[in-house]
Structure formats: structure tokens, C-alpha cells
Amino acid sequence: MAQSIKISDEEMELVRREAELSSRSIAGQVTYWMRIGRSIERAPEFNYDHIREVLEGRRSPDVLSGEEQAVYIDELLAAAAEETPEQAAFFQERREAGLGVGSDANGEIVTQKSAEKA
């Protein structure tokens, strides 16, 4: 019997994009990734604790196997894409000062007119 799950909008967009690129349905893409993840976790040479230690700066990425390095890079890129509280505060101050700069949904740079020019 099919089941429903909730995932974030960002993750869903990633699933949709990868499904389209791979000519799979959304369910097919999620199932495919689940099988890969399960296989990696069951592989004797794969250790997610090593990846976590590298992400935390306690080990060098050089100690990771090829499979572990691929997951490490994905995790690193995902972490880099997330806005930190410091970044959020910085950009909020800029917006309030009329100095807001960022990008739109298409990645195009947008600026906000200063309050004096508006």
C-alpha cells in the first residue's frame, strides 16, 4: 500500500528536477535514492561517522573512501547552501537600511532601491 510523506519544498524541487533529468517519476526517483542510500549504509567500507567527523573538522577528507567522499561533498554543499543566523541578521539589517541585495528564484541578482531614492 502506498504511503504519503512530508518533505521540504526545497527537497521536493530537487526530487522533481532529478526525476525529470533521469526520466523517472517522482516516486521512482525517491525509491532510487532510497535504494542507493540503503546500499551505501550497508556497505562494510562505508561509515557515516567518518563523514560526520570530517564535516565537524575532526578528520581530513583524505581518510574517506570514494563513496564516503561523494556523500561528504553532497552534505558539505547542502550545509553551505543553508543560511546561518548571522547571515540572516546581516541581510535583514541591509534590507532595513534600504541596501538589500540578493538573488531571485532564477539566481539573478536583484537590488533594492535605498529609502532616500524611493
End-to-end CA distance of the chain: 57
Domain ranges, residue 97: 84-118
Q: Are residues 19 and 76 in the same domain?
A: yes
| Segment 82-103 mean pLDDT | 80
| 61: in domain | yes
pTM for the structure as a whole: 0.47
Question: What's the pLDDT at 100?
Answer: 63
| Segment 59-88 mean pLDDT | 85
Longest alpha-carbon distance in the chain: 63
Q: Are residues 19 and 39 in the same domain?
A: yes
Torsion of CA 31, 36, 42, 43, to 10 degrees: 170
* Residues of the chain above pLDDT 70, percent: 92
Q: Are residues 100 and 70 in the same domain?
A: no
| 4: in domain | no
| 75: in domain | yes
Domain count, the chain: 2
| 2: in domain | no
Categorize the per-residue pLDDT at 115 as very low, low, confident or very high, splitting at 50, 70 and 90.
Answer: very low
pLDDT tens per residue across span 23-50: 889 988 898 888 888 877 777 777 888 8
Higher pLDDT pick, 32 / 101: 32
